[in-house]
Chain A
């Protein structure tokens, strides 16, 4: 079974600075998808960014980018120019492209943004 690990329960960043959230996963598959979801205090789960494993280029969405290291099974999220509204729980998630269709989530990282 696939597992997703987020080793940082909490992170803190100064407003306008850059922060990187870590995620590693364990799989024997070669084709899969990786996601970062944000959960603000409102509880809503919001997709931040998505990466297909077959793509070598790292995904980027405005201030959010990933560092996808397939061999190392690492998928970190970088948030540039952090804003107060970025404060939330961030979840890394894995989905196989072959078998099943569920997302397996990491334990989450709580990001605090200091003004």
Chain B
């Protein structure tokens, strides 16, 4: 009964590969996010979707493409992976009432 779940939790891959991270929330929230946490623990917003529509797209390389098939899912696809993409990627969804973000457990991506 995990509220926000991400898969995979860990991903190790070679430069140049394409990979995807999936996210699902069972909280009934309309808004979902992807955040990137770098090696210095800094958390930066990447994308935000509201009811399957993109509403925030920060300065992120276009190798990153989010997809929201329905409001409970927000997947992140990354093409042509680079060393600098190594990070922990967090999915989150937002409660309308409190504004609180509920986070997944994060997906640690390591690019070799």
Interface of B is mostly: strand
* A102→B45 contact, CB < 8 A: yes
Nearest residue (CB) in A for B90 is A45
B55-112 with Cβ < 8 A to chain A: 55-56, 88, 90, 92, 94, 98-103, 105-106, 108
Q: What total of A-B pairs shows CB separation below 8 Å? A: 54
**CB-nearest residue of chain A to B43:** A105
Q: Are B105 and A47 in contact (CB under 8 A)?
A: no
Interface size class of B (residues with CB under 8 A): 20 to 34
User: For the complex, is A28 an interface residue (Cβ under 8 Å from B)?
Assistant: no
A residues less than 8 Å from B42 (CB atoms): 105, 107-108
Cβ 8 A contact of A102, one of B48, B98, B102, B108 = B48
Contact B43 A47 (CB under 8 A): no
Please, what's the 1-or-0 string for A44-68, where 1 marks a CB less than 8 Å from any CB in chain B? 1101001000000000000000000
Given contacts A102-B56, A110-B41, 17 further A-B contacts (CB under 8 A): A33-B99, A35-B100, A42-B105, A43-B88, A43-B105, A43-B106, A45-B101, A45-B106, A47-B100, A50-B99, A91-B43, A100-B56, A101-B48, A101-B55, A101-B56, A102-B48, A107-B40
